[in-house]
Amino acid sequence: MAVRLGKQTIALEAPVSIVNTATVVGTKESEGPLAPYFDVHLNDAEWNEETWEKSESKMQREAAKLAIRKAGMEPGNIDCAFAGDLLNQCISSGFSARELEIPYYGLYGACSTMIEGLSLGAISIDGGGFDRTIAVASSHFCTAERQYRTPLEYGGQRTPTAQWTVTGAGAAVLEKRQFPPYITHITTGKVIDFGVTDPNNMGGAMAPAAIDTLKAHFRDTKRSPKNYDLILTGDLGKVGREIVIDMMTAGGFDMEQNYNDTGCMIYDFETQDVHAGGSGCGCVAVTLCGYVFEMMKKGELNDVLILGTGALLSPTSSLQGESVPGIAHAISLSTTPGGGKNGLY
């Protein structure tokens, strides 16, 4: 059974393996620096569907089916799917699950959803409730713009702090197996609100939650940034990444050497106009299921701490003048069951 470490972290007694993953991305993501790590590349926003929402649901469904197939399984072998997206009532996930016919928990953690799904799936396996689970998350630039901001036809000007919602879906199959990468530790975040009211500054709104979870993880595990080859947040973009570095440095944690943000990795700032970077459930999902997974399978990364950061706002709360609360969940991935670079467990 899992062992409780401190207030917010658990260590899995028998680490859960990520058996295989799959990714589906849009055209803009296919032009970015991580393009070689993605499985399926869309040729347009609709992907032969009548609406963008149907396209996003198809992305989730196809990512899940491909991950299951790459794991050498059938959908019937999966005990439960933990899936979510950004849309009202998680319609992308719900309609995807309808087609997959896998027992389903719908999740909403905004852009933290993929890490939330991996956390809950791993805990369920470690506790003996399930043998195999799948975590899936998606976002779509057009569906997010339609729901959260203005119609695309409006052509509104984006502020410098605004981020570009990633069109992408990532899926990861989990099972207790004796091969890496393993999920070794899970740190569950708290809702943190520093009073940011600008819905176009999600990096600034979410950064305090990322900082709180990072400090909780290091406190609970007795680790430091040096225990990891790579620490990733997703998706704070340029603004939030700088806040994390500054605030963690002020707290005595050196994040300069091995920290990055998935919103800063998925696009090329020189050639792609994305303002402050990428965002959306799909951002951390495809970066984890593509780049991070492949680098760990090759042994080029051995210990990774990855946080999913979410802005818990809605169009209604924004119109009512509410602030934007943030949430961040973290998982430790390792190529060794105990995990922890430098032999510190």
What ranges do the domains of the chain cover? Answer: 3-175, 182-336
pLDDT exceeds cutoff 60 at 268: yes
pLDDT band (50, 70, 90) for residue 157 = low
Largest pairwise CA distance in the chain: 55
Mean pLDDT, residues 278-297: 97
Tell me the CA distances in angstroms from 39 to 23, 67, 176, one per residue in order. 5, 10, 24
Amino acid at 32: G
CA pair distance 265, 36, nearest whole angstrom: 13
Total residue count of the chain as it appears in this document: 345
Instruction: Note whether 121 and 135 are within 8 A (CB).
Output: yes
Per DSSP bridges, beta strands 278-279 and 182-187 are unpaired
pLDDT exceeds cutoff 70 at 176: yes
Mean pLDDT, residues 172-200: 94
pLDDT for residue 344: 42
Could you report the per-residue pLDDT of 97-142, keeping only the tens digit for each? Answer: 999 999 999 999 999 999 999 999 999 999 999 999 999 999 999 9
Per CATH, the homologous superfamily of domain 3-175 is: Stage V sporulation protein AD (3.40.47.40)
Cβ neighbourhood burial of 7 (10 Å; 0-12, 13-18, 19+):
exposed
Cβ neighbourhood burial of 187 (10 Å; 0-12, 13-18, 19+):
buried
Instruction: Note whether 291 and 265 are within 8 A (CB).
Output: yes
Half-sphere exposure of 174 (CA within 13 A, CB side): 31
For residue 18, list its beta bridge partners.
174
Could you report the per-residue pLDDT of 231-241, keeping only the tens digit for each? Answer: 999 899 999 99
Could you report the per-residue pLDDT of 310-339, keeping only the tens digit for each? Answer: 999 998 998 899 999 999 999 999 999 877
pLDDT for residue 152: 60
For residue 231, list its beta bridge partners.
259, 305
Q: Domain spanning 182-336 has what CATH number?
A: 3.40.47.40
Instruction: Note whether 135 and 83 are within 8 A (CB).
Output: yes
Share of the chain above pLDDT 70, in %: 95
301-340 burial string, b = 16+ CB within 10 Å, else e?
A: bbbbbbbbbbbbbeeeebeeeebbbbbbbbbbbbbbeebb
Kindly give, in sequence order, each residue whose CB lies less than 8 Å from that of residue 182, ignoring residues fewer than 6 positions away.
Answer: 12, 15, 16, 17, 18, 333, 334, 335, 336, 337, 339
pLDDT band (50, 70, 90) for residue 169 = very high
pLDDT for residue 135: 98
Mean pLDDT, residues 228-250: 96
Domains 3-175 and 182-336 share a fold: yes
Share of the chain above pLDDT 90, in %: 85
pLDDT, the chain, mean: 93
Neighbours of 98 (CB within 10 A): 11
Q: pTM for this structure?
A: 0.95
- Alpha carbon 324 to chain centroid, angstroms: 19
Helix runs in 80-136, H state only:
91-100, 113-126
pLDDT for residue 341: 63
> What is the token pair recorded at 8?
């917010």
pLDDT exceeds cutoff 50 at 345: no
> What is the token pair recorded at 200?
């176009």
pLDDT band (50, 70, 90) for residue 150 = low
Span between the terminal Cα atoms of the chain, in Å? 17
Neighbours of 43 (CB within 10 A): 10
Among 25-34, 84-93, 139-148, name the one with the lowest average pLDDT: 139-148
Neighbours of 165 (CB within 10 A): 27
